[in-house]
């Protein structure tokens, strides 16, 4: 019994020395149109099992023969985000310039005006956010009263659990002042892990460290709360 042959696949060797892929042709063409691939970018062609410059790949030649600017978008983030902007954010701080450049297409900029709500407790978590500038506040409602949990400043990241597990949000998050955020959606993160696992690895490591530090801090706060509660109970028994 015969089966349909798989679609031809390609890999791309990035400027960050990371191999991206496998891609099928439509996805590869999209990268060319976004100028994430230049004519001299090395592409591995699965059907012939060889590396060659993208401009020499027969399926891509027509796109590089176009005049500059025709049918192409600017490289990097459509929102104008630049690699150096990400240096302000701790979760990206250990990545080099080429890695940050490669991350840009997976990120978007979100503006949050003062007092606006970014998301509510119980909403499906579908993205991680980092603060470029401004201030964000997390709060929950307890017995009908809003209770502030913590304030987040530039350089901090939140929503990382939602990025990994896509679980409901644990709190409401508001803008304490006009703020600029960098958003990575769960869909973009899945694309990153599929297209460039070597690029996803250092980001995952950084997120893991951040989650571990927060877990330790929460453990200390819980211990302090238990001690305070016991002191209060003991004082009432005296």
pLDDT, tens digit, for every residue of 58-100? 888 888 865 443 333 334 455 678 888 898 899 998 888 888 9
Taking the C-alpha atoms of residue 205 and residue 222, their distance in angstroms, rounded to an integer, is: 26
Q: Which domains does the chain have, with CATH numbers?
A: 9-64 (3.30.1490), 83-210 (2.60.120.10)
pLDDT, tens digit, for every residue of 186-228? 999 999 998 888 889 989 998 988 877 777 776 777 777 787 7
Taking the C-alpha atoms of residue 158 and residue 152, their distance in angstroms, rounded to an integer, is: 8
In terms of pTM, does the model score above 0.75? no
Cβ atoms of 157 and 210 closer than 8 Å: yes
Structure tokens at 10: 């390609």
Cβ atoms of 136 and 178 closer than 8 Å: no
Grouping H, G, I as helix, E, B as strand and the rest as coil, residue 49 is coil
In sequence order, what are the beta bridge partners of 173?
119, 138
- Nearest CA among 165, 160, 159, 143 for reference residue 209: 160
Taking the C-alpha atoms of residue 87 and residue 82, their distance in angstroms, rounded to an integer, is: 10
Structure tokens at 72: 């192409």
pLDDT, tens digit, for every residue of 1-33? 444 456 678 999 988 888 888 888 878 888 888
pLDDT, tens digit, for every residue of 96-146? 888 898 899 999 999 999 999 999 999 999 999 999 999 999 999 888 888
- Nearest CA among 125, 187, 134, 196 for reference residue 159: 125
How does DSSP classify residue 5? P
Residues contacting residue 47 through CB under 8 Å, at least 6 positions apart: 8
């Amino acid at each position: 019994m015969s089966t349909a042959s798989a679609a031809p696949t390609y890999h791309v060797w990035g400027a960050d020395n990371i191999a991206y892929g496998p891609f099928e042709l439509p996805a590869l063409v999209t990268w060319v149109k976004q100028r994430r691939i230049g004519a001299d970018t090395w592409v591995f062609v699965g059907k012939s099992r060889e590396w060659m410059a993208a401009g020499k790949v027969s399926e891509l030649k027509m796109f590089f023969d176009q005049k500059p600017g025709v049918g192409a978008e600017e490289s990097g983030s459509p929102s104008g985000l630049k690699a150096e902007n990400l240096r302000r954010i701790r979760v990206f701080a250990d990545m080099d310039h080429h890695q940050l450049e490669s991350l840009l297409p997976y990120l978007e900029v979100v503006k949050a005006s003062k007092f606006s709500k970014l998301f509510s407790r119980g909403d499906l978590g579908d993205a991680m956010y980092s603060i470029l500038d401004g201030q964000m506040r997390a709060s929950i409602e307890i017995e009908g009263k809003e209770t502030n949990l913590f304030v987040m400043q530039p350089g901090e990241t939140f929503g990382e659990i939602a990025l990994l597990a896509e679980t409901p949000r644990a709190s409401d998050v508001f803008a304490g002042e006009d703020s600029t955020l960098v958003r990575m959606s769960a869909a973009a993160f899945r694309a990153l892990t599929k297209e460039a696992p070597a690029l996803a690895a250092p980001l995952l490591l950084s997120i893991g460290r951040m989650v571990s530090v927060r877990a330790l801090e929460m453990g200390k706060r819980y211990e302090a709360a238990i001690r305070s509660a016991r002191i209060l109970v003991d004082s009432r028994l005296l």
